[in-house]
């Protein structure tokens, strides 16, 4: 069973930075994808950044060059470094994971929320102008 717990959200002014963390219990799983999703008020949940067990990454166009996803070597913490934040980045941010067969570790970087079956409870990020 994979458990995910996010932290690090908060309020910041436009142009500022935040780092989100996700404590993840992935011991025993060698092939997986993890991602950060966000859900703005009144909108659908969207993918933001993804990383697989080979440390390959994928980003939504809206955050490329501003956000960086990473995972520590012990595979127990996922991070999202968010720089140059904009008011439109305001949302509830969720950490998610999916365990896959090895041959899918490249493909899962491009999966949508429906394929992810482990979710954290979310952490709020608010960016003011």
| pLDDT tens sequence across 64-85 | 999 999 998 777 899 999 999 9
CA Rg, the chain, in Å? 14
* In contact, 24 and 97? CB cutoff 8 Å: yes
pLDDT at 56 over 80: yes
Mean pLDDT over 11-30 rounds to 93
Average pLDDT value for the chain: 95
User: What is the reported pLDDT for 73?
Assistant: 73
Choose among 72, 63, 67: nearest CA to 19.
67
Distance from C-alpha of 103 to C-alpha of 54, rounded to nearest angstrom: 12
User: What is the reported pLDDT for 27?
Assistant: 76
Distance from C-alpha of 40 to C-alpha of 84, rounded to nearest angstrom: 18
Which H or E run contains 91?
strand 91-99
Per DSSP, which regions of the chain are E strands? 4-7, 10-13, 18-24, 32-39, 46-52, 57-59, 67-71, 77-82, 91-99, 118-119, 123-128
Q: Do the strands 77-82 and 91-99 form a parallel or antiparallel pair, or are they unpaired? A: unpaired
User: What is the reported pLDDT for 103?
Assistant: 96
User: What is the reported pLDDT for 50?
Assistant: 98
Mean pLDDT over 14-22 rounds to 98
User: What is the reported pLDDT for 44?
Assistant: 96
């Amino acid at each position: 069973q994979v458990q995910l717990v996010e932290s690090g959200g908060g309020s910041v002014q436009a142009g500022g930075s935040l780092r989100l963390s996700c404590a993840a219990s992935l011991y025993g799983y060698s092939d997986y994808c993890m991602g950060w999703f966000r859900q703005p008020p009144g909108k659908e949940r969207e993918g933001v950044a993804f990383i697989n067990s080979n440390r390959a990454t994928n980003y939504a166009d809206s955050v490329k060059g501003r956000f960086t996803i990473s995972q520590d070597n012990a595979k127990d913490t996922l991070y999202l470094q968010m720089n140059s934040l904009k008011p439109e980045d305001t949302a509830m941010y969720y950490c998610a994971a999916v365990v896959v067969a090895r041959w899918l570790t490249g493909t899962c970087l491009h999966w949508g929320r429906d394929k992810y079956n482990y979710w954290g409870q979310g952490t709020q990020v608010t960016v003011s102008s």
